[in-house]
Structure 1
């Protein structure tokens, strides 16, 4: 009788261990797939930061466009000498990612307009549409500046507002970045990307039909 209890206990422990490993494996797989989905958005986001640095004359020390880690990408640069340089570097991803995302969705709209129905679409057209949709969603979801960008602007604002009151004009930008990142818990970044998709498809439909 005791031996049966031991067998049951061992079986229960083994089952729990297997379930724990399965959950852990699924969690790792989902995280890996999410990183793959985010790849285009992260690359464009960091490219925008790096390009903005070079455009305003701020030396770039290191650029990591993508990696399977946290953060998935980053740009290290010299501390900007001017406040407006910090602003440009921080908000550049919003402009660049929005343009790239919207352009991708316009491509999706054009492909749809060229296809009479999904059943008659060529395989390469479907693949192109899926890839463009993936790029558009990923890049659009990473359009918002990060809280790190907001903190950089906030620190500069606190340091320089006495010397140049114009700096105070950047505080609403800082507040907006924080609010947007807070709303990301409510999928605001996803809704933004979907909004770009809907707008692009509506524009193509209006122009072509």
Structure 2
């Protein structure tokens, strides 16, 4: 790309950033940026809830896959008739987000191991490696963003935990087997509490480390 074009694009981006900052403020702009970074994870999380409802036959009343607000996404559905239906709907995002995040990181690790390793290199010997193409860089950034964002949104919300807790209290005398779900409720509460200590980020990074380790162990 010509230098003049790069400078023009950079100037336009700078002007837009300055205008946006002046109009909405730094805090709002940063908040919107964080929300956009979380977009893939929120969408996959809510999609998992939606598909779980379809799977167990619970009617879905409203779905918002992403919005600028709190919560960033949600699924409203009818009251499940059985505890196991509530359990499946509540824990589905953990399974689906984990699988999607791990798949994205596996793709990133495979790219790094099979010709795109230089994309992730901080430095390289002159002439030792072929310079990465823009497509490789874009793919690496996209996979990294997808893996991190989706992995960070894997934990069920406290709302999911509240639903399971209410069902457990209401039904354990009639069906003691629901007590087996209480440890899951406890884990959800703890995970959301630890999210203040970046537990969600650490979980996503752990999936990335596991993916790179798996690709390395397979010798790709």
Q: What's the offset of the Cα at 1:186?
A: 0.5
Q: What residue in structure 2 maps to residue 18 of structure 1? A: none
Q: Distance in 2 between matches of 1:129 and 1:188?
A: 24
Give, in angstroms, the shift of residue 115 of structure 1.
Answer: 2.5
Q: When the two structures are superposed, what TM-score results if normalisation uses the length of structure 2?
A: 0.83
Distance apart, 1:207 and its partner CA:
0.9
Is 1:102 aligned with 2:113? no
2:194 is the alignment partner of 1:183: yes
User: Within 5 A, what are the aligned runs for 1:14-163?
Assistant: 25-113=25-113, 114-115=115-116, 117-118=118-119, 120-163=131-174
CA 1:116–1:163 in structure 2 vs 1: closer, same or farther (change >3 Å)?
closer
Aligned-partner Cα distance in 1 for 2:75–2:163: 13
Q: CA 1:166/1:28 → structure 2, altered by over 3 Å: closer, same or farther?
A: same
Which protein has the bigger helix share? 1
Q: For 1:81-127, what per-residue CA distance to the aligned partner results, in whole angstroms no more than 9, with x for missing partners?
A: 00000000000000000000000000101111122523621110110
Give the whole-Å Cα distance in 1 for the aligned partners of 2:102 and 2:151.
8
> CA–CA distance in 1 between the matches of 2:30 and 2:219?
39
Structure 1 stretches of 5 or more lacking a match?
1-20
- Residue 173 of structure 1 is aligned with which of 184, 191, 197? 184
What TM-score results when the alignment is normalised by the length of structure 1?
A: 0.87
Partner of 1:17: none
Aligned to 1:208: 219
Contact 2:111–2:117 (CA under 8 A) maintained in structure 1: no
Unpaired runs of 5+ residues, structure 2, are: 1-20, 120-129
**CA distance in structure 2 between the partners assigned to 1:127 and 1:97 by the alignment:** 22
SS of the residue corresponding to residue 174 of structure 2 reads: coil
Quick one: distance in 2 between partners of 1:115 and 1:67?
34
State how far apart, in whole Å, the 2-side matches of 1:126 and 1:108 are. 11
Q: Any idea what the Cα deviations from partners look like across 1:115-161, whole Å, max 9, x if unmatched?
A: 25236211101100000100100000000000000000001011101
Q: CA RMSD in A?
A: 1.5
